[in-house]
Amino acid sequence: MTATLTRRAWTTDLEIEILNKLVDKYAPHLPKTRLHDPRPIQTQAELDNFIRFRIGGAAHDLYIVQVCAKAIDQIADPDLQLFLSRQIGDDGAHAQHTRQRVLALTGHDPIDRIGQQVQKHWDYMGSLPFRNWQGFLAFELHYELYIVAQLLLNSRTTRINDLESAKFGVETIIPDEAAHRLGVVAWWQRKYDRASPAEKADLVAQVLAADEEGQRRRNPYLKEHWQIVHQALGCELEALPVVYDAWRREVLSYLLDIPVSQLPQLVSVND
């Protein structure tokens, strides 16, 4: 119990500290801060790659909106519902901004392409986010927390970007997403802290089972998505799988209050 009482709060500073530790261990060639400012998009091929990447981003956000709206209806937890109302508003605004930016860059509203990509998330995630609260927690961890290592590494190694999209990212998306991660962590910790030691053991087993299922379901998408991001931004790709797996272990270690070395072997993004 002492470990719980003395544990540091989950903050964006802690995230960067953990990520840098993993970079030192698994990818020491990568920079700890951004080395160069990205250059603007210059060719039609670069624009096409960027648009595909942004449509994927809008679909990620719209899928979150749809799942969280269902969860508000299904999980009778007023505290969670108030948090989810913010997440829905923010991620909906992110998707809408991305849609408008693609329209401005191409002259075409991408809403149908966004809708098609959202359907892919529904297909591969299946019933997991709605089966029970453990499945919904796994969804939140996969869609909000496990993507952080990739996002931070991308931001350090991006070579090409749309300056307007980058500005919205820094001013709006980054602070909103930090609030989402803290909200998910706080929701879980309230549940976990109230549990007895015996209940905690059950919760760990239930959360790990749902989370592992989420990883298996996400693997093909993540591989494809990372290629799309790499082609659009020119960012580092090679170290992502090993850092992703290690990052997920760190997050689970923190949430379940189990040292990384004592977690069971987990599904890898490469499985």
Contacting residues toward Fe ion, per CB under 5 A: 61, 91, 94, 177, 180
The residue (of 46 and 181) whose beta carbon lies closer to Fe ion is 181
The residue (of 47 and 93) whose beta carbon lies closer to Fe ion is 93
Q: What is the DSSP letter of 118?
A: H
The amino acid sitting at 74 is: Q
The residue (of 133 and 168) whose beta carbon lies closer to Fe ion is 168
Shortest Cβ 7–Fe ion spacing (Å):
24
Shortest Cβ 135–Fe ion spacing (Å):
18
CB atoms within 10 A of CB 159: 12
Give the residues across from 39 on adjacent strands. 160
Burial class (CB in 10 A: 0-12, 13-18, 19+), 143: buried
Shortest Cβ 267–Fe ion spacing (Å):
23
Shortest Cβ 32–Fe ion spacing (Å):
25
Distance CA 232, CA 239 (A): 17
The residue (of 46 and 61) whose beta carbon lies closer to Fe ion is 61
Shortest Cβ 168–Fe ion spacing (Å):
11
Greatest pairwise CA separation for the chain in angstroms: 59
The residue (of 180 and 248) whose beta carbon lies closer to Fe ion is 180
Shortest Cβ 29–Fe ion spacing (Å):
30
- Upper half-sphere CA count for residue 32 (Cβ side, 13 Å): 10
Distance CA 214, CA 162 (A): 32
Distance CA 254, CA 169 (A): 27
The residue (of 46 and 140) whose beta carbon lies closer to Fe ion is 140
Between the alpha carbon of residue 89 and those of residues 51, 151, 173, 204, 226, the distances in Å are 23, 21, 12, 30, 26
Structure tokens at 107: 């002259």
